[in-house]
Amino acid sequence: MINTISKLTKMNTNENSKKSLRFNSSLPITIEVIKNLGLDRYKLLLGTKEFTTKSQKKLECGGKYWGSFGEGKAGIITISNLIKKPNFLQQDKEFLDIELSDFLSQISQVESPISTFKEWIKENLAKDEIEKNTFKIFSIMIIALKKNIMHLPLKHNKKNTLLQIKLEIDNIELYCGYDNLGPMRGYIKQGILTLEVFYNQTLFFLNKSNIATNISINKLIEPLYSSDKTMLNLKV
């Protein structure tokens, strides 16, 4: 079943990031709120480019959001469908520098993915020299594992990506937050992948990619695990 999830790591979504600020038909984009300018106006950061736009939805300074953008007459940028990213996707330091596709390729080859994953976490936590942020990441991983959830804050094409997998006896439930696809919820049963996505652009892109058998829109997609506790119990 993990081999089926690997399909999600083979998508090329980087073309979207190479375009100029003409987003009418593009994929969702990640933005960061730099400053509240008042009167519903905000200074935003997209990649390395700053711009100002209006949003009737109150935005949090320093927060990272997914959104749909368009460019109207006279180069006026419009913004819509803004949703704040989950806490796990707010800080760059909360991710391991490991490619998600490589990780899934290796874990899918072992007889017991959960046991192997648990031992890998413990080995890293037991290292004599481990950075504070890295320790926190692995601590969260092992706490999530107590709920039978593989919490994977890794990279996809060098961009921060969160994948959470809940393994059951005969099916898999997953959450995935891509940098420029937005949040997705998925279910795998008998090798068939069904996806729920937030953005229409994502649905259109995935339909063209033949990633899943059934894809639908869901405006209420949340991570499988969202606790930010870092209490560690090595008896997991």
Q: 53-94: per-residue pLDDT in tens?
A: 888 889 999 999 999 877 767 666 677 889 999 999 999 999
As annotated, the residues of the chain forming the CATH 2.40.50.140 domain(s) are: 15-85
Q: How many CB atoms lie within 10 A of CB 210?
A: 8
Cα atoms found within 13 Å of the Cα of residue 70, Cβ hemisphere only: 9
User: Which residues, given as ranges, of the chain have pLDDT below 70?
Assistant: 1-3, 10-25, 72, 74-77, 227-236
pLDDT at residue 48, rounded to an integer = 86
| pLDDT on residue 134 | 95
User: How far apart, in Å, are the Cα atoms of 131 and each of 110, 139, 153, 198, 221?
Assistant: 28, 12, 16, 35, 32
Instruction: Just give the CATH number of 15-85.
Output: 2.40.50.140
Res 20: pLDDT: 42
